[in-house]
Structure 1
């Protein structure tokens, strides 16, 4: 490995170290209560080191946010092989729930953790990653409308209703609000509730 390649690898390792520490502190303490110095202390480096990679806390949050959404969208890839729009929608819902349950910290950062939306103004488009993910859902819903499997005429409204319902199920589970049903029963309950929601959509959304 040459000097340039080694230095780039070291820079990537440092970025990962910083992002991992920032994610941990943001989730534990909340965005507002975490400072660059706190993150520097966590990794045992000076704040100046972090500023070599990220100009401020907002840019750090954006980097975490972008990484999380990229991972989720990559996991939606299998739906591209499915022909029927309703089957695509069903599989996307299942993949979304699986992502949430297998990546609780990332999901928390993306959809649950309180953080100022201006933290995303590091880019011209506020929450561009969220818009990209929602667009995938909306396109599938539009295809369902076009083929008559969803009766509601407005794809944006229908997609938002579907997303909010599935997100609610994920959030309840991740925040342990379903623990009253018993740990052994929760997974089955979530699966069956999702199936009930899908049947409701098929019958008349």
Structure 2
């Protein structure tokens, strides 16, 4: 291995260390306490070392957000594998809801907190592309087989995503308390609402 290869490997290893520490801190202590200085303390390096790789907290959290979307994408691949496009669509929505309920802090970072998107404005946002493409491809298959009332796959995918996202977001941000139900009942209610919506848009 040459010097340049070794330096690149060391660079990637350091970035991995920083991202892993950032992810743990974000999940355990929340957005406000996740700072460059606190992350540096966790990995026992100076803040200056982290600034060699990330210019600020927003850029770092953008990378952590990417990790979160990679997890969601893997989750969709594992839990929504059906060869039937309609069945796969049902599996996608179920997997998405389950991920949001199980990972509320990550969901917040992915879809609600503004900070990571400051970086996205500079370079374009690619973090959610694989997940949306998985939904979009499935929706296109459903339309091709005349299983959906929609004719435009983009509008259909956006509609389905918005339905799921809206319900998960309400729950993540504790707005479903208006229903005066316990958490288990709320999660069941959300699943039933999405199932009802899918029945409504089915051709």
Normalized against structure 1, the TM-score is what?
Answer: 0.79
Partner of 1:28: 32
Q: How many residue pairs get matched?
A: 192
Query: Structure 1 residues 119 and 25, CA, compared in 2 at 3 Å: closer, same or farther?
Result: farther
Partner of 1:165: 163
Conserved in 2, the CA contact under 8 Å of 1:18 and 1:50? no
Query: Structure 1 residues 177 and 22, CA, compared in 2 at 3 Å: closer, same or farther?
Result: closer
* Deviations, residues 137-158 of structure 1 (Å, cap 9, x unaligned): 1111111000010121100011
Q: How does 1:36-185 map to 2 (within 5 A)?
A: 36-37=36-37, 39-40=39-40, 45-78=45-78, 81-115=81-115, 117-120=117-120, 124=123, 126-179=124-177, 180-183=179-182, 184-185=184-185
Query: Structure 1 residues 39 and 53, CA, compared in 2 at 3 Å: closer, same or farther?
Result: same
Query: RMSD over aligned Cα, in angstroms?
Result: 2.9
Conserved in 1, the CA contact under 8 Å of 2:66 and 2:127? yes
Normalized against structure 2, the TM-score is what?
Answer: 0.80
* Deviations, residues 145-199 of structure 1 (Å, cap 9, x unaligned): 0001012110001110110111001111111111233114212212211211111
Give the secondary structure class of the aligned counterpart of 1:27: coil
Unaligned residue ranges in structure 1 (runs of 5+): none
Unaligned residue ranges in structure 2 (runs of 5+): 1-5
